[in-house]
Amino acid sequence: MATENIFAEILGRVRRAAEALAAAGALPAGLDQSRVTVEPPRDPSHGDMATNAAMVLAKDAGKKPRELAEAIAETLRADDLVSSVEVAGPGFINLTLKPAAWLDALRTAVRTATRYGAGDVGHDTPVNIEYVSANPTGPLHVGHCRGAVFGDALANLLAFAGFKVTREYYINDAGAQVDVLARSAYLRYREALGEDIGEIPEGLYPGDYLKPVGAALAAQHGSALRDQPEANWLPIIRATAIDMMMALIREDLAALGIVHESFFSERSLHEARNGAPSKIAETIAFLERKGLLYRGTLPPPKGKVMEDWEPRELLLFRATEFGDDVDRPILKSDGSPAYITPDIAYHRDKFERGFKIMIDVLGADHAGYLKRLNAAFEAVSEGAATLDVKVCQLVRFLREGQPTRMSKRAGEIVTVRQVVDEVGRDAVRFMMLYRKNDAVLDFDLAKVIEQSRDNPVFYVQYGHARGQSVFRNAREIFPDLPQNNAELADNAELHRLSDPNELALMRRIAMYPRVIEAAAQAHEPHRIAFYLYDLASEFHALWTLGNAAPHLRFIIQDDRQMTAARLVLVKGVVTVLASGLALLGVQAPDEMR
């Protein structure tokens, strides 16, 4: 049986061909084959696959690329999966596989079902992916939407590719903003006790979502907190408010289909743990030991007038040693940790928890933070782990091409929940993933619910629904067809699928494992969305061919065997569409009526 990833299989055979030449003395031993790739050629007339092996190896081998290509090609011609080999251009080796290879790939896809494409490139490597991490001061804002969906899809993808994934939410529950939250909640608490609090003062959070917090506080504490000094009530109210805001955020995330398995509290980094110093103190000591801290004065910030700026001596981290533009303060002048300090401790903690790969999904407004974060990470992980910071650019929300103002006063959309309620989870998720994360994205609220070809979400989902409908119809006509897909695939006469469009579809299906692998390695879930669109497109095309050419329809009334074979092909399409959509967190509907 063919291997699941046919491209990986052929790559292995190409490499073995080169090794065989080396063993025979035709090439130097120990050639570096890491840059050898096997890809589908842009131009289908070049065959099924092309390899750059000869061009990549030529220099080290001391041979002309085309000459080397001929030698490798000769070996490949004897391969049982290969029907023809040609050397072309500067030294490409173009391979055309025997149809049986593609039939096998299809059969494998259908047999493997939901695990088709699931890989082991991850080798169970522990990956921590931190995303959303919105401040626990209110419901999820639309600005968080993209990073939330992106992080979630990436996590799904990495898990599918064989990484051991932890989805984590970093709760910023220690900064000044949660004190503001507490003071805002305190007002709502007094309100709940019957007091007229009037307008919410400038600088506090005015949102209605704090009213339930006030009510809960009143129910729990009565008036006991009201007349106490702030220092007494603030920690209590803060804790309750944060808990309730996090509950709110979890609900918003659930509306997007997102569940984190780990919530990490920033506050916990500040707290001493039964006698032991806090994580932050520990981290500062660690940096100190490494000689990465010193007392010094920073130059004034450029390009921005800061009237209150004055030079002060501070404890600084040598971020410039790791590529940052300036050294960064670790402690503020009042001795408390600067913003980045808990973040350094946090990443160190993740490192100590054993994660080898860490991914931070941040918003565009944090782009300027990236260098210092990378610098800090390098210092703390000592080269034994990697950090990939994915910055999600802004989403411009439009309505019929016109920018939507996100002002709450105007009653326009501000929360994730409202967007999901208006256009649905599937549209939100797919559209957020139908773009590279580092490009600005336009999201037209009117267009994404349009059920037209303008809308890729529906296009792909429709493909899945169409496939399912073929099955419904086929089972009515041929009730005795095997219910079990593996059985169907094993007994079908797949060799009867010989139309070029059918073979093209098989090739596309066979690419899926490769797409997963590449997308996982590049941390780019959008590649799946584009692949699914292409797959759906080829399926729709084949479908429509049946209009003019009835012999190409999936269901052939008087030919049970042909129908069975075609059903396997449809099953392959449906399997991959469902699998890919699941990774994106989008429904794969059985019908679209």
Question: How many C-beta atoms surround the C-beta of residue 580 within 10 A?
Answer: 28
Instruction: Give me the least distance between CB of 443 and RNA, in Å please.
Output: 10
Instruction: Give the binding range for RNA (CB under 7 A) out of 14-22, 84-92, 245-253, 416-424.
Output: 84-92
Q: Which one of 223, 228, 333, 498 is in contact with RNA (CB under 7 A)?
A: 333
Using the rule CB under 7 A, is 369 a contact of RNA? yes
User: Is the CB of 211 or the CB of 589 nearer to RNA?
Assistant: 589
Instruction: Give the binding range for RNA (CB under 7 A) out of 251-259, 334-342, 376-384, 576-584.
Output: 334-342
User: What's 523's DSSP letter?
Assistant: T
Q: Which one of 261, 421, 454, 487 is in contact with RNA (CB under 7 A)?
A: 454
Beta bridge partners of residue 273, listed in sequence order: 276
Instruction: Give me the least distance between CB of 141 and RNA, in Å please.
Output: 13
Are the CB atoms for 581 and 570 separated by under 8 Å?
no
Output phi, psi for 128, to 5 deg: -110, 120
Instruction: Give the binding range for RNA (CB under 7 A) out of 195-203, 207-215, 402-410, 516-524.
Output: 516-524
Helices (H), 290-398: 340-352, 370-381
DSSP 370-396: HHHHHHHHHHHHTTSSEEEEEEEPPEE
Instruction: Give the binding range for RNA (CB under 7 A) out of 14-22, 286-294, 304-312, 407-415.
Output: 304-312
Q: Which one of 13, 146, 279, 328 is in contact with RNA (CB under 7 A)?
A: 328
Radius of gyration of the chain measured on its C-alpha atoms? 29
Distance CA 77, CA 274 (A): 70
User: Is the CB of 74 or the CB of 313 nearer to RNA?
Assistant: 313
Instruction: Give the binding range for RNA (CB under 7 A) out of 253-261, 297-305, 412-420, 483-491.
Output: 297-305
The CA-based diameter of the chain, rounded to the nearest angstrom, is 92
Using the rule CB under 7 A, is 209 a contact of RNA? no
Residues 233-292 touching RNA, rule: CB under 7 A, are: none
Instruction: Give me the least distance between CB of 41 and RNA, in Å please.
Output: 4
Instruction: Give the binding range for RNA (CB under 7 A) out of 202-210, 220-228, 245-253, 310-318.
Output: 310-318
Beta strand segments in 99-180, E:
126-130, 164-171
Using the rule CB under 7 A, is 226 a contact of RNA? no
Residues 95-114 touching RNA, rule: CB under 7 A, are: none
Helices (H), 549-592: 560-584
Using the rule CB under 7 A, is 496 a contact of RNA? no
Q: Which tokens is 524 given?
A: 């780019």
Residues 411-450 touching RNA, rule: CB under 7 A, are: 435-436, 438-442
Report strand pairing: 164-171 vs 92-97.
Answer: unpaired
Distance CA 342, CA 336 (A): 11
Output phi, psi for 549, to 5 deg: -125, 85
Residues 30-49 touching RNA, rule: CB under 7 A, are: 35, 39-43, 45-46
